[in-house]
Structure formats: structure tokens, C-alpha cells
Structure 1
Amino acid sequence: MMTRSKSNALFALLILPALSGCNFVASFFESEFVTACEASLQERLRSPSEYKRIKITSYEEKLDRAALTKYLSDERVGDIFLNAELRDFDRGNLNPTLFGLLISYDAPNVFGTPIRRTARCEYIDARGDDSAANEHNVKVDGKTYTDWLIEAVRASSN
């Protein structure tokens, strides 16, 4: 006689492989950061619906004071905020972390031919938490979605 927990485990073993290609299952088990990076990347593609993930490699890097200062300066925060964040860092209240992904994917080029590419997605959080990442505040290949849109508008007006 099969117990209820064994039958649930057997069901999971049978159904998960069938669902493994579903975006719902993939996004359910992935972090907000992975979901945000892929969403931001797909918004930049000619045919987002034809995007196919091949592989994702993640990495994390703790930022020292100099790297945190450079990041905040690059984000053009005001001096008051910059100094407050650095004071918090010096007191040990911050855990600035760069979260990164290398996303290998296939997507069609302008002629419809699938081309394999790799994108770098990064997100920095002063408290070491990637859960606030969203498709508009992650950087894909060094640009936020807003940066990319501005660049695209400028290119189309030339």
C-alpha cells in the first residue's frame, strides 16, 4: 500500500519533467533577480516571444567602501545621501553586494535566424538583498531599461 506522502512524491516526479518547459514553473522557482533580468533582456529583443534561455550562471561580489562610493557616484545620488550611506557602511550597517548573471540565450536576428548570445545582468543593493530587483533597475550589458530606451529613441531620430 502506498502512503499519501509517497504518492505525492511520485506525482511530483512524474509531473515536474512534463512542466519543466513551462515558463510558469521556471519563474516560480527562480529569484526575482533572475526574473527581472530576463524580462529586461526580452524587452530589448526584436522578437521577445522567440527568446530561448540556454544557460544562466550567477555570481555575487561584496563591495568595499571604494566600490560603494563609485557605484553611488555613478548613480548620481546627492552628497547628503552618499555621506549617510558611507557612514552606515563604516558602522557595519550595510552589506553592499553586486549580484550578477551571465545569460546565454538564443534569439532571432533581423533575418529571423536564431543567434546565440550572452548578456550580463547586474544589480547592486546596499543591504545585500536582491529581492527588490525589477526589470527597470537591473542593468543588462551596462544599461538599465530606461538607458536603453533613451539610446534607442536617440538612434531612431538620427
Structure 2
Amino acid sequence: MKKSIAVGGGLVALIISAATAFIVVARPFDSPLVKACEEIFKMQLRSPSGYSRVDAIDSIQPITIREWVYLTRPDRLTEDPLTERQAKRMEEAGQVPAWLTTYVEYDAPNAYGTPIRGTIECKYLSKDSSPRDASRYDIVVNGKTLLEWLKG
């Protein structure tokens, strides 16, 4: 009886430690905005494996539907029928567009291998105040889009 309790207790401890390690390493509950932000930023590092997130802080700045339409399609007039239909659909659906901003504090080695601490600013223009549709193609990291980062 004592042997089975010891084995059962050891198994429970193993499962708990494995689950804790998975959560710490894999971070399964990160928002798509944080994941995409880190993915783009790591492309710029000399040693991406040395990157380590310290903290992430989110903020939401609601905007009007008209502002969202203007920011997503600045070449179109507000009287454009297509723009008007899209704005009406958003109003009917009760969508509240917003700028989502995440500040990620990180540690990473510099060119000499010395760890430094820095902050990344990631911005995403959401049509429904949610980061669920954020991808690396839609966000701005430290003032640059993915294409601008790739150009150098």
C-alpha cells in the first residue's frame, strides 16, 4: 500500500512540475498581439535565443468608427459608398474599434553578449477592440511595420 501511494505521489509531482514548465516556457495564454510582436522583434536580434520577456502591459484606446475607416483606408473619402456600408455594418454589429498597444519589457544580449533590458512598443488597429486577429502583418513594432523591418 505504501509503495503505491509513493508512486502515485511521485507521479502527481511529476505532472505538476511538467505542467508548470510548459506554462513558463510555452506561454500558452499570450495574446496574438504579444506573440506577433515578439516574433517580429526577434528577427532583428543578433541572438534571438537569448531573448527573454520580463513583462507585458496592454492598453486600449477606443476610437470612433469614422476614425477607424479613415485610418484603414486614408485614400477614400468619408462619402464613399463602400466606406459608408462598412461603417454602417460595424455600427450595427456593435463593434468598438480601438488602438491596442502592448509594451513588452525584455532582456536580450547586445553585440558584446552583455544582457540589456529594453522595451518594445507594439500597436494594432483593431475593429472590435480585440487582439485575436492580430498577426505579424498587421502590427507596428517600435514604429515600423514588418515590411519596414525586413527592408532594414
Alignment TM-score > 0.5, same fold: yes
Question: Structure 1: how far apart are the matches of 2:104 and 2:35?
Answer: 12
CA distance in 2 between counterparts of 1:136 and 1:49 reads 22
Q: What residue number does 1:72 align with?
A: 72
SS in structure 1 of the partner of residue 144 of structure 2: coil
Does 2:24 align with 1:16? no
- TM-score norm. by structure 2 comes to 0.73
Residue by residue, what CA displacement relative to the aligned partner does 1:17-55 show, whole Å, maximum 9, x if unpaired? 344442x2x1x2222222111112212222211111011
Indicate the residue corresponding to 1:110 in structure 2. Answer: 111
Q: What amino acid maps onto 1:17 in structure 2?
A: T
- Residue 117 of structure 1: how far off its partner (Å): 0.7
- Partners of 1:147 and 1:123 lie apart in 2 by 16
Runs of 5+ unmatched residues, structure 1: 3-7, 153-158
The count of corresponding residues between Structure 1 and Structure 2 is 144
**Aligned pair in 2 of structure 1 residues 97, 147: CA closer, same or farther (>3 Å)?**
same
Aligned to 1:137: 138
Instruction: Quote the sequence identity (%).
Output: 26
Contact 2:60 2:101 in 1 (8 A): yes
- Tell me by how many angstroms 1:72 deviates: 2.2
* 1:83 Cα deviation from its structure 2 partner: 3.9
- Equivalent-residue separation in structure 2 for 1:91 and 1:132 (angstroms): 20
Q: Deviations over 1:76-121 (max 9, x none)?
A: 5685654443344555643212222100001122222221110111
Deviation at 1:66, TM superposition (A): 5.4
Assess if the C-alpha contact under 8 Å between 1:54 and 1:106 holds in 2.
yes
| Counterpart amino acid of residue 144 in structure 1 | T
- Quick one: which amino acid aligns to residue 148 of structure 2? D
Tell me if 1:31 matches 2:31. yes
CA separation of 1:107 and 1:70: change in aligned 2, threshold 3 A: farther
Q: Flag the structure with larger Rg.
A: 2
Bigger shift: residues 76-85 or 97-106 = 76-85
1:16 maps to amino acid: A
Task: Give the TM-score, by structure 1 length.
Answer: 0.71
Partner of 1:47: 47
1: distance between equivalents of 2:40 and 2:121? 11
Question: In the alignment, which residue of structure 1 is the partner of 2:8?
Answer: none
| Distance in structure 2 (CA, Å) of the matches to 1:30 and 1:127 | 18
Aligned residues of 2:122 and 2:139 also touching (Cα < 8 A): yes
The answer to whether the Cα contact below 8 Å between 2:101 and 2:121 also exists between their aligned partners in 1 is: yes
User: Once the 2 structures are TM-superposed, how far is the Cα of residue 71 of structure 1 from its aligned partner?
Assistant: 1.8
**RMSD over aligned Cα atoms:** 3.1
1:98 & 1:125 partners in 2: Cα distance? 6
5+ unaligned residues in a row in structure 2: which ranges? Answer: 6-10
